[in-house]
Amino acid sequence: MKTVIRTQVLAQLHENPFSAQGQRNLLQKVLDSPQWQRAQTIGITLSFGVEIPTQSLITAGQGSGKRMVIPKTGPQRQMEFVVLSSQTGWQRTKFGVLEPVGGTVISKSQIDLMVVPGLAFCLATGQRIGYGGGYFDRYLRDYRQNTIALARPFQVFPTQEWRSNRFDIPVHQIFTSEE
C-alpha cells in the first residue's frame, strides 16, 4: 500500500505545481510556530524536484540567527547533519539530491527541531511515507526533540491507510498549506 500511495502522491505533485501563495502561507505558519521560534539549531533538507521548497525556511532561519544543519548520507543508509555555512561545498548524490561536502558534523542531541521530509502523512498518528530508503526513520530512532513535516493538502490523510512497521517514526506535527 505504501508503494501505491507513494506513486499517487508523486503523480499529484508533478501534476499540481505549488503556488507561490501556498508556499508563502506554509512558510509563515512554520515561522510563527512555537517549535520554530524556540529552536536554535534546525535540521532541514534541501528540497529537490517536486518537494515543498525549503530554501526560504533555510534563509529565514539563517537570517534570524538560527544554526541550520543539512543531512549527508553515508553507508548502510546512515545519515549525519552538517552545519550550513557560506563555505559549505555541495555534491549531488546518485539520487540527484544536493548534499554538503565536508563541514562540521553535529550530534543529533544538538538539533532542537527536525523538519522531516515525506510524501504522505497521517494526521491522526503522525506516521509518514518517505521515498522508501529509511534514512530518516533510522536517524530519528533515538532523536528526542521536536519533529515537524511540511505538506500540501493532498499529502495528508485523516486516518492511516497504510501499515506501519516498527521502524517507522512518526512526526510530532504536520504543517499544511491552503492552496
101-112 per-position pLDDT tens digit: 989 999 999 999
| E strand spans, the chain | 41-43, 67-73, 79-83, 89-92, 98-101, 105-106, 113-115, 120-122, 128-129, 146-151, 156-157, 173-176
Q: CB-side exposure of 173: number of CA atoms within 13 Å? A: 13
pTM here is: 0.92
pLDDT value for 93: 87
Q: Which residues are annotated as a binding site for ATP?
A: 2-6
Cell numbers for 150? 511540511
Pairing state of beta strands 173-176 and 128-129?
A: unpaired
Q: Are the CB atoms for 16 and 154 separated by under 8 Å?
A: yes
Q: What confidence tier does 118 reach under pLDDT thresholds 50, 70, 90?
A: very high
pLDDT at 132 over 80: no
Condensed to tens digits (0 to 9), the pLDDT of residues 50-82 reads: 999 999 999 999 999 999 999 998 888 889 999
pLDDT value for 179: 61
Angle, helix 55-63 to helix 20-32, in steps of 10 degrees: 40
Q: Backbone dihedral region of 102: left (phi > 0), alpha (psi from -120 to 50 degrees) or beta?
A: left
Q: Which residues are annotated as a binding site for substrate?
A: 46, 51
What is the C-alpha radius of gyration for the chain, rounded to an integer number of angstroms? 15
pLDDT at 137 over 70: yes
Residue 6: which of 50, 44, 46 has the closest Cα?
50
Pairing state of beta strands 67-73 and 41-43?
A: parallel
Residue labelled with grid coordinates 561536502: 101
| % pLDDT > 70, the chain | 99
Q: Which residues are annotated as a binding site?
A: 2-6, 46, 51
Domains of the chain, earliest start first: 2-176 (3.40.50.10420)
